[in-house]
Structure 1
Amino acid sequence: MSFEVRKTYYFAAPGPENTRDCARFALERARELGLSRVVVASTSGATAEIFHEVLKGTGVSLVVVSHVVGFSRPGEWEFRKNAADMLRKEGVTIVTGTHALSGVERAFSRSGKVGGGSRSEAVAEALRRVVAVGLKVAVECVLIAADQGAIPVDEEVVAVGGTASGADTVVVIRPAHTSTFFDLQVREIVAMPRVR
């Protein structure tokens, strides 16, 4: 029998207070596995700034995935311009792409005119409810980053998501493009909230 022993961390509850720990756990696992990239979700830039602070100078690259323009309000990008400028100056990649597990489907399901949910929204809801909201976010961010060419699909990454704000879930994923979703593999859960 062949197996490896690794640490998994469980937070008592989801939330942004777990963000700095998630950054430390992401770096720890990247080093253990010899991985070169961490993909993290960040809406305003606050989570991205914490991850940049922890990863800076380690040789591990940071790829940040933000909401699309218009996600909350038409024509508005929620990421703070000063944070984006600083991160880009520091060599951080920021990707802004349409949510891979909802996209145009959300318009149909929320309009009340067409009715019913889509298969991609069902996948998203299953990830949210069965494991953690942050797992759904991490998976989606990896799909978006791969689709935008920000990460290769043949190298594992550490991916990080959260519940509403901040970070509370860290996983290791073999990426895939959205069009080949079932090639994506969540290979390790590094950290997650026990209660969702």
Structure 2
Amino acid sequence: MLTFKQVGKTNTDVTLKLAIQTALEREMDLVVATTKGDTALRAAELAREMGFSGKLVAVSCAYGAKAVNENSLSDEMRDRLHQQGVTVVTAAHALSGAERGISKAFGGVYPVEIMAATLRMFGQGVKVCVEIALMAADCGAIRAKQPVMVVGGTGGGADTACVITPSYTASLLETKVNEILCKPALLPQEETAE
């Protein structure tokens, strides 16, 4: 497993190239998390350069995640991705969605949120990979019960790649994280004296 020294965007190209190469070798679909579309667009560019002709799915946040009736993925970017042959899935977060609404209204924490927090123990990107694989399967963009290459990240860009055999959200405990190809190390940050 490749381990990065820092989280986030600086790892995007290395992560995407590793994921695309693995998807090519194993003949798997490729699922990529994207908020504004930049990571998905970069994945499409690299996939083309590397000769990947398999299915590329970009998973974005649901409408209303940031503002009522708005989506972080603009219509223009959505069109650009479609022109590149990317299937775009827009759905509620599989590991929060409705439960987050309940916990905000009534306080407390609920089982799926605990599961998300547990996955974050491996890093935000691992949680994202599991979540978007479920979302893509729920929408029919990928087949459940078949391994796929999944790319997620921390903050922006990509820093985590996993091979996952997804189930559907309704049977999420049947999902398997088969392999973690790369992710950031989760080491404590050194404190600097001022």
Aligned to 1:54: 46
Of the three residues 101, 106, 114, the one matched with 1:107 is: 101
Query: Could you tell me how far apart the structure 2 residues matched to 1:168 and 1:55 are?
Result: 17
Deviation (angstroms), 1:164:
1.3
Q: How many residues align?
A: 185
Identity, % of aligned positions:
39
**1:151 to 2:116 alignment:** no
Shift of residue 99 of structure 1? Answer: 0.8
Q: Measure the CA separation in 2 of the matches of 1:180 and 1:104.
A: 16
CA–CA separation in structure 2 for the residues paired with 1:105 and 1:119: 8
Greater CA deviation, 170-179 or 79-88?
Answer: 79-88
Between the aligned partners of 1:58 and 1:91, the Cα distance in structure 2 is 12
Q: 1:77 aligns with which of 51, 71, 75?
A: 71
Gaps of 5+ in 2: 188-194
**Secondary structure of 1:14's partner?**
coil
SS in 1 for 2:177: strand
Q: Deviation of residue 20 (structure 1)? A: 0.9
2:111 is aligned, of 110, 119, 131, to: 119
Give 4+ residue runs of structure 1 displaced > 6 Å after superposition.
none
What per-residue deviation string (whole Å, max 9, x for no partner) do you get for residues 120-149 of structure 1?
Answer: 000001101x20100100100000000000
Aligned pair 1:192/2:183, yes or no? yes
Matches of 2:54 and 2:2 in 1, distance apart?
A: 21
Equivalent AA in structure 1 for residue 38 of structure 2: A
1:32 counterpart (25, 30, 40): 25
TM-superposed deviation, 1:80: 2.5
Q: For the Cα contact (< 8 Å) 1:154–1:175, is it kept in 2?
A: yes
Q: Which amino acid aligns with 1:142?
A: A
Q: Which runs of 5+ in 1 are unaligned?
A: 1-7
TM-superposed deviation, 1:49:
0.8
8 Å Cα contact 2:27-2:54 kept in structure 1: no
Give the deviation of 1:14 after TM superposition: 0.6
What's the CA shift string for 1:48-100, capped at 9, x where partnerless? 11101111242122100000011011111101322210111222100001111
Separation in 1 of the partners of 2:10 and 2:55? 23
Question: What TM-score do the two structures reach when normalised by structure 1?
Answer: 0.91
Shift of 1:34: 2.6
Cα offset, 1:175, TM superposition = 1.1
* Cα RMSD for the two superposed structures: 1.1
2:29 counterpart of 1:44: no
Q: Tell me which amino acid in the other structure corresponds to 2:140.
A: G
Q: Which position in structure 2 is the counterpart of 1:13?
A: 6
Distance in structure 2 (CA, Å) of the matches to 1:189 and 1:58: 20
Corresponding position of 2:125:
134
Instruction: Name the residue aligned to 2:174.
Output: 183
Equivalents in 1 of 2:86, 2:33: separation in Å?
A: 13
Question: Structure 2 length as normaliser, TM-score?
Answer: 0.92
Answering whether residue 64 of structure 2 is matched by residue 64 of structure 1, we say: no
The answer as to whether partners of 1:55 and 1:61 remain within 8 angstroms in 2 is no
